[in-house]
Amino acid sequence: TDITAKLMRKDPTITAVAVNYIDPQHWFAGGKSLAAHGTNTFRLDIKVVDGTNTKLELEAYLKAIFEAFGRLLGGVHEESYALVHEVPAAAYG
């Protein structure tokens, strides 16, 4: 949430986060499990109100996310993903 607050200018008091763990034996990339690859990965899926961030902010955010997960997990498989969904404000409830 720190990176999201800093680089995307999102209020951490109204930011919700859910973390799900998937056993490396059950996560596959390139036709092999992560356990077989001997590496880690992540998938980050974030929703923000459309038009509230510039392309440069999104680019810096994604770069920082990959760097942070790489440090946290001791490196990540190239098939790791971070996706920012820009959602209309009216879609939030």
Please give the domain boundaries of the chain with CATH numbers for all domains: 2-91 (3.30.429.10)
pLDDT of residue 93: 76
- Say what the pLDDT of residue 92 is: 84
pLDDT the model gives residue 53 = 97
**pLDDT, position 89:** 93
User: For the chain, how long is the longest CA-to-CA vector?
Assistant: 44
Copy the structure tokens of residue 24: 């490396």
Q: What is the pLDDT of residue 68?
A: 97
| Consecutive 10-residue averages of pLDDT for the chain (93 residues) | 95 92 94 96 95 97 97 94 95 84
Residue 65 has what pLDDT? 97
